[in-house]
Structure 1
């Protein structure tokens, strides 16, 4: 009697690891044994189960995934990446809003598995992030979404523009209104530059801020009850940066350009 596929794949660490190893291409028995640090008598019964369930084939002494095996292992990688991301701090992810992430990117949250969750010290609660401040002036581009106004924004943007950095700033409507009534003079110079691109997002923004430059992605989600806390997510891997580019492309495409304050 055939076992349920979930049992075949996940009830045995050896079977699961064989599938993951073969995702990279066919392998002979000896490299498999070495990678799994096991013996042939111990591994063969597990391989036989995988073959009986049409997940792998073998010819001579070489093993490979079947079409069904490839299909399943592709999903396994996605699931395991998602679990790895959330496992970094499941309490943090579980207590913060994630609906600001577009559905097509939420399904790829596994790409953020190398991110760190940071909590600034008390004296740094209201500072802009040091990694962003240090790297954005030497970046080719700086994207930012914000639902608040920080007095350092104009100086930071001026410094980046002086270094030929393309700046894309997306604000909520309340922040745009506040700029127009209280801080319009501060943006007079940056608004004149062709490198500065200001947008308003017409719908509710359920996050405090998000930033992308050539080096980092930073996100400050709100808590599920709508409250702000001082923790943030910081990512720096190539995979995270690609995810961040898609994230900001989505928001740019769904925002309205602002030509004057």
Structure 2
């Protein structure tokens, strides 16, 4: 059955709050009390939501339907996306986002509570170490060379599952300048080579750190995104798998 839906009236904060409350069945009076709006107003909202199939009534109880749950999840996703874009807008607008696949940009709402962190250019930041130091697994992609990275990840591979992707020219620098550490690392950890990534990130179960290039094509060594959440770890791991498919595994340096 089709319905003529006034979407402008449907997408209101009151209806969103109402559907969210109905994840557990409730009576009209309880909804009115929790939402702090009159029974008449709640009843009017409920009737519209029932008409389009997002809510059902059984006896004196109202509850969310399967389609209502789908709607709730999508609104929550948009709300989270709006929050992240508002919080990180200036940083994202001034940096190159093309290395991040479009489908992952649409899921950037997973980076709830992400912050832009300032650092001294090319210094090893304590927040970076805190993401990897006590982790059971670490995934990373790097398009910049730092003389301390080979030693850090070589030691890390003795206690964690580590898999790294290096841009080809960075791998060659490591191979030339840190050959012994590279050989030692490859006894335990995995390494891949890619080209044209133009971003840097490290992800573990503790969170995500990501560095980007500016819109002028210059790597921003003075700031990065940091997010400590399970959803950020999952987002970062998915981004890593995207680049892993484009990379070639190194077996012998």
Tell me which interval the TM-score lies in, with the shorter structure as reference length: 0.7 to 0.9
SS in 2 for 1:89: helix
Residue 145 (structure 2) aligns with: 149
1:253–1:46: structure 2 CA closer, same or farther, 3 Å change rule? same
1:125 to 115, 118, 121: 121
Cα distance, 1:155 vs structure 2: 1.8
TM-score by length of 2: 0.86
Distance 1:31-1:227 versus aligned 2 partners, 3 A rule: farther
Counterparts in 2 of 1:153-172, with a 5 A limit? 153-162=149-158, 164-172=159-167
What TM-score do you get using the length of structure 1 for normalisation?
A: 0.84
1:196 is matched with 189
Q: Is the 8 A contact 2:203 2:236 kept in 1?
A: yes
Q: Map 1:17-166; keep pairs closer than 5 Å.
A: 17-22=17-22, 24-120=23-119, 124-162=120-158, 164-166=159-161
Deviation of 1:148 after TM superposition, in Å, equals 0.7
Q: Which runs of no fewer than 5 residues in structure 2 stay unpaired?
A: none
Deviation per CA, 1:46-71, whole angstroms, max 9, x where unpaired?
22333344432223222223444333
Query: Is structure 2 residue 216 aligned with structure 1 residue 221?
Result: no
CA drift at 1:135:
4.7
Measure how far apart 1:78 and its partner are: 1.8
Paired residues, what number? Answer: 250
Give the CA RMSD over aligned residues.
2.4
In structure 2, C-alpha distance between the alignment counterparts of 1:118 and 1:127, rounded to whole Å: 13
The match for 1:177 is: 172
Q: Name the counterpart of 2:14.
A: 14
